[in-house]
Structure 1
Amino acid sequence: MKLTHFSLLVAFVLQGVYAVPNLPSNDLKPRRTSSILINPAAQPALPSAQQAASSSASVGLNLTNIQGDILIGMKKNKELFFFFSIVDPTSFKSQLGADILPLITSTTELLAVSTQPNTLVNIAFSQRGLTALGITDNLGDSLFTAGQLNDASSLGDTTSNWVSEFAGTSIDGVLLLASDTVDNINNTLSQLQSTLNGSISEVYSIQGQARPGNEQGHEHFGFMDGISNPAIDGFSTPLPGQAVVAPGIILVGEQGDGTTRPSWAIDGSFLAFRQLEQRVPEFNKFLIDNALSEPNLTVDQNTELLGARMMGRWKSGAPVDLTPLVDDPVLAADPQRNNNFNYTHPDFNLATDQSHCPFSAHIRKTNPRADIGGSFSEHIIRAGIPYGPEVTDAEAASNVSSTDPTLERGLAFVAYQANIGNGFAFLQQFWANNINFHTSSVGQDPIIGVATPDGPRSVGGLDPLDSTRDITLNQDFVISRGGEYFFSPSLSAIQNTFSA
């Protein structure tokens, strides 16, 4: 059955499954027998549907009203980001309620294989998109209102590196389509394009996918990702060492969100999207050229040690704070242990000792734990995915990334938060890019930090034998290709405000 046959507004029924009169809900969202998501052992597992229902009831969260991508973290297998412009607002609003809303995937649906759709469909809108739809309410987030291009200099971006579509002013929204196969995604996209023909136009798209084989869950530099996402009170049970945040840190209008919002915005979240190119051959060459000199380690081990201290974790996901000199894959694969640290140790001076983990390490810069008291509100849910192919033999041999745009690789970075200025933008500007964060002249984050103005940067603490030694990075290994800020509304808002 084609999407164009849908003509009636969706009604909410038990467990967040949608029904249209005279049309079985299973026809709307064909169900699965295997999970749409990946579940690497190192990453925190999602709660079961029963666990989430019990937890959410205790704080009043309505998981059937929250779009599914927001709370699941970095669990997608394949994902397409389809950025669009609204050409015919009147038609689009009608189609949004009648044809698109029945396909929007809620959080509840993703927590059990039996309720997962063949393809996750979520949608979010830029400020330009809200304006095009006649939504004039102030959402209380100035960075969202102004857009990411206006924020580029504060983030340290060089806009000449931006993809032209992000540097323009034509993106009204983004469709997020995720599944376990590209065919599922392409079939769903084809249906959506057919249904929305004439009301939207494609501006840009990025296809992401989990890396193959044993690299599943790892980003392109090779490090396991997504371990340190916080637990949301009312959604998941925290693991040892995992931060617990009030739902209003991530979800607009919920407990912990101190900003005044329009009532319809509750259960939405601000989506910060970034296309982050990763220059993998250059990164690997830098590690070889600057390998550390720890006694009793081979050259290869000292090379890996430098990378681990830059990231704050070994490639397996094991934190250097718990295993400073050698990787421990068994620890890495144990969620009860791999996040249970806060940089403190017995007989240890937290303010000066970098023997376990450098102050500048990526995961320490972006989640400082005990460095600032252990409890803070600057948290995000990271829900990105790698994009682009694996490094080619020619690139590996030359230690230089190809200039062929089809070989560009990196991270389609997604961060959800209730306040961009207290979430993603804060972490990038005031922690990652700040050479004095934690202590004087520690340097920028060696992975995602950038110097302003652009140029070489010195990073301290990377050498465990001499924490006063600075190592110079003459190039950035992560290049911002631009992005945009969006608002991901609740399902009830899509029905009652966006399509009304």
Structure 2
Amino acid sequence: MTIMNAVDSGSAADVRIEIDDIQSGALRPRPVPYQGKYVFLRVDDRRAGRDLVRRLLPLASGGLPDVDLTQDAWVAVAFTYQGLKALGVPQESLDSFPQAFREGMAARAERIGDVGESAPDHWEAPFGTGDVHIALSALSSDAAQLNEELERARVACEETPGVQVIWQQDVHQLPTGRTTLGFRDGISHPNIEGVGLPCSNPQEPPLKAGEFILGYPDETGNLPPMPRPDVLGRNGTYAAVRKVRTDVAAWRRYLRANSAGAEEEALLAAKMIGRWPSGAPLALAPEHDDPELAADPHRVNNFQYRENDDRGYRCPAGAHIRRTNPRDATIIGDARMHRLIRRGTTYGPPLPEGVLEDDGADRGLVGVFLGAHLERQFEFIKAEWVNDGNFIGYPGEKDPVAGHHGGTDSVTIPAKPVRRRLQDLPSFVVTRGGEYCFVPGLRALRWLAELED
């Protein structure tokens, strides 16, 4: 029996979201705390690939998350364009996918700011090589449940000759509960109409489900272009999967060099991020960190910018969280047209507190960015909001944290009576690789498993 949530679409007919056909990994937030693993596979034989999909079907769940997230674990299955091709998907269907997906992230690197040391020439293999065909992710709060799911996935892979595991990455939440840069993450999530997940910002009007899931009207009132046949595209979504290394030592050195003391250093870091380490937003706590506010789920994300901070004196317009989600701030364009679901998971060990020199360990974030429109969501945000400041009136300025800088860029921090200009920013994050993936619905997974030559 299919569970459907009725949605007011603004027309005479209700839109019904087929929740239990949408892969759980596409909609549910990561658990807290969490650990998990990402696995990439190459399909050398199309029949073997379809057999693996058949074996993975029992692992891929749909529907809303378990009420008790500590007892929940799930596996999500996604495919690159080359992966769908390797499975033998008919060319007519392959041609119905959007150009960005067909080309892949590496081919569009300059468009999204992956240049210099972040360019595909420097990516970790097998990213960008065309060998990544299937991407699996497994996440859980419970180590035993995670291991059980991973063992089932391992057995499925090992019992399918003709499919090779070519990359694995363990992810986890650090003991501090924060990112490698020292800030709480995963606070803000889109308010999606009809899905039934908790709203992280009660001031955000619900977004149409078609912004995130194929087969439903989006914010324009139209159905997003959908792969053919209908069974393949409906209830699917696109995922931009990225591995980025964070240069924590460079971050700490820059803050130290541009601050007169520990208090000013903490404020400068918050101005660049847009939140304090606890997660308290500058929009609500402009002078100092407020852990009590941060711990209140009803308050920590309950804010907009236009009424109290349109000029950016509290949270700079160029701060990381404000760039990637301007909310109701005055900007060029409509922010609602560019929302996406962001899932960030940490990898690698923390750099010990106070250390200012890199220890050589690989640490950073595996980010998954989900939406129905790769170009106007993920690519637009990366190109126009992260790596260009025109939309906020700062031409040439980039995201102080996520932008590609190379040691020459500047960033403006509004202040009275005189604004501050940060100079000579290094790049604090470096792209280690990325892939565009399609996350099909469960019926589509069955369709892929049953393909015939």
Mark yes or no: TM-score above 0.5: yes
The answer to whether 1:456 aligns with 2:408 is: yes
The answer to whether the 8 A contact 2:39-2:168 is kept is yes
1:481 pairs, out of 432, 439, 453, with 432
What residue is the counterpart of 1:269 in the other structure?
Answer: 237
- Pair 114,55 (structure 1): closer, same or farther in 2 beyond 3 Å: farther
Matches within 5 A, 1:376-387: 376-387=336-347
Superimposed CA distance per residue, residues 268-296 of structure 1 (whole angstroms, 9 cap, x where no aligned partner): 1101101011111221221122126xxxx
- What count of residue pairs does the alignment treat as equivalent? 427
Specify the SS of the correspondent of 2:17: coil
Are positions 1:334 and 2:289 aligned together? Answer: no
Q: Distance in 2 between the 1:464 and 1:450 partners?
A: 28
Counterpart of 1:447? 401
- TM-superposed CA distance for 1:300, in Å, is 1.7
Q: How much does 1:414 deviate?
A: 0.6
Q: Which amino acid aligns with 1:371?
A: T
SS in 1 for 2:293: helix
The within-5 A match list for 1:232-311 is: 232-235=192-195, 236-238=197-199, 239-242=201-204, 244-256=206-218, 257-262=223-228, 263-264=230-231, 265-291=233-259, 299-311=261-273
* Residue of 312, 330, 335 corresponding to 1:371: 330
Matched, 1:105 2:61: yes
Question: 2:267 and 2:395 mapped to 1: Cα distance?
Answer: 22
Of all paired residues, the percent bearing the same amino acid is 29
Counterpart CA distance in 2 for 1:428 and 1:129 is: 25
CA shift at 1:383, angstroms? Answer: 1.5
Following superposition of structure 1 onto structure 2, how do residues 20-419 of structure 1 map, counting pairs within 5 Å? Answer: 59-75=15-31, 77-97=34-54, 99-108=55-64, 110-113=65-68, 119-135=73-89, 136=91, 137=93, 138-157=95-114, 158-159=118-119, 160-182=121-143, 184-197=145-158, 198-212=161-175, 215-216=176-177, 218-235=178-195, 236-238=197-199, 239-242=201-204, 244-256=206-218, 257-262=223-228, 263-264=230-231, 265-291=233-259, 299-345=261-307, 350=310, 353-369=311-327, 370-372=329-331, 376-392=336-352, 396-397=354-355, 399-403=356-360, 407-419=361-373
1:317 counterpart letter in structure 2: G
Structure 2 CA distance, aligned partners of 1:177 and 1:139? 29
Distance 2:57 2:254 in 1: 48
Measured after TM superposition, the shift of residue 234 of structure 1 is 0.6
Q: Work out whether residues 144 and 486 of structure 1, in 8 Å CA contact, stay in contact via their aligned partners in 2.
A: yes
Once the two structures are superposed, what CA deviation does each residue of 1:400-432 show, in whole Å capped at 9, x if it has no partner?
Answer: 2222xxx21111101110011111111111111
- Cα distance, 1:184 vs. partner? 4.3
- Closer, same or farther in 2 for the Cα pair 1:139/1:112, shift >3 Å? farther
SS at match of 1:130: helix
2:365 maps to amino acid: L
2:127 is paired with a residue whose SS is helix
Quote the Cα distance in structure 1 between the aligned partners of 2:290 and 2:399: 24
2-side partners of 1:488 and 1:172: how far apart? 12
The residue aligned with 1:472 is 423
For the residue of structure 2 that corresponds to 1:364, the secondary structure is helix
What TM-score do you get using the length of structure 2 for normalisation? Answer: 0.87
CA shift at 1:493, angstroms?
Answer: 0.6
Residue 436 in 1 paired to residue 404 in 2? no
Classify 1:88/1:193 alpha carbon distance in 2 versus 1 (closer, same or farther; 3 Å): farther
TM superposition score normalised by structure 1: 0.79
CA shift for structure 1 position 260: 4.3
- The residue that corresponds to 1:8 in the other structure is none
Root mean square deviation, CA, Å: 2.6
Cα offset for 1:439?
Answer: 0.3
Contact 2:30–2:139 (8 Å) recurs in 1: no
- 2:20 match: secondary structure: coil
Q: Deviations over 1:219-254 (max 9, x none)?
A: 111212122211110123534233521111011122
Q: Structure 2 unaligned runs (5+)?
A: none
**Are the structure 2 counterparts of residues 185 and 365 from structure 1 closer, same or farther at C-alpha, using a change threshold of 3 Å?**
same
SS of aligned partner of 1:383: strand
CA displacement at 1:371 relative to structure 2 = 2.0
Partner in structure 1 of residue 379 of structure 2: 425
Deviations for 1:302-323, whole angstroms, at most 9, x for unmatched residues?
A: 1110011101111111111222
